[in-house]
């Protein structure tokens, strides 16, 4: 059974940083691209970033303006999202998703940016 488990969310002050993790199991992690997607409270889905299976190709949403960095460790079956200079509008549930087509999704981790 495929499992994606996000962690690392929480309450952070504006301007602060967080590092999200996504632990993968049930499939050969190193063979799949991965994505981060977020959902603000009561809103739709917003794609944030993509990383290829070997980390050779990375894309970001323009709206992030260089504040977020995606990475992965295939030896640890883990995906990461380093988030810096956080703003109130970054408050959302953050999901990791397998493959660009969205084959599997984690339960999400809530990030709240507030003073």
Partner 1 sequence: DIVMTQTPLSSPVTLGQPASISCRSSQSLVHSDGNTYLSWLQQRPGQPPRLLIYKISNRFSGVPDRFSGSGAGTDFTLKISRVEAEDVGVYYCMQATQFPLTFGPGTKVDIK
Can you give the binding site for partner 1, defined by CB under 8 A? 35, 37, 44-47, 50, 59, 61-62, 95, 97, 100-108
In the bound state with partner 1, the residue whose beta carbon lies nearer, of 44 and 66, is: 44
φ/ψ of 65, rounded to 5, equals 50, 45
In the bound state with partner 1, the residue whose beta carbon lies nearer, of 64 and 77, is: 64
In the complex, minimum distance from the CB of residue 108 to partner 1, in angstroms, rounded to a whole number? 5
Query: Are 5 and 107 a contacting pair, CB within 8 Å?
Result: yes
In the complex, minimum distance from the CB of residue 46 to partner 1, in angstroms, rounded to a whole number? 7
Query: Are 109 and 7 a contacting pair, CB within 8 Å?
Result: yes
Q: Are strands 10-12 and 109-113 parallel, antiparallel or unpaired?
A: parallel
In the complex, minimum distance from the CB of residue 61 to partner 1, in angstroms, rounded to a whole number? 5
In the bound state with partner 1, the residue whose beta carbon lies nearer, of 46 and 73, is: 46
Q: Please give the C-alpha separations between residue 80 and each of 44, 56, 64, 100, 114, in angstroms, as whole numbers.
A: 22, 15, 16, 16, 22
In the complex, minimum distance from the CB of residue 115 to partner 1, in angstroms, rounded to a whole number? 28
């Amino acid at each position: 059974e495929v499992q994606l488990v996000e962690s690392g969310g929480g309450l952070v002050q504006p301007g602060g940083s967080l590092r999200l993790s996504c632990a993968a199991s049930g499939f050969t992690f190193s063979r799949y691209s991965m994505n981060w997607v977020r959902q603000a409270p009561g809103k739709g889905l917003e794609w944030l970033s993509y990383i290829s299976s070997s980390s050779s190709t990375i894309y970001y949403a323009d709206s992030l303006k260089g504040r977020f960095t995606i990475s992965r460790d295939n030896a640890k079956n883990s995906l990461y999202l380093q988030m810096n200079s956080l703003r109130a509008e970054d408050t959302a549930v953050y999901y990791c998703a397998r493959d660009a087509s969205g084959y599997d999704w984690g339960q999400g981790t809530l990030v709240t940016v507030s003073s």
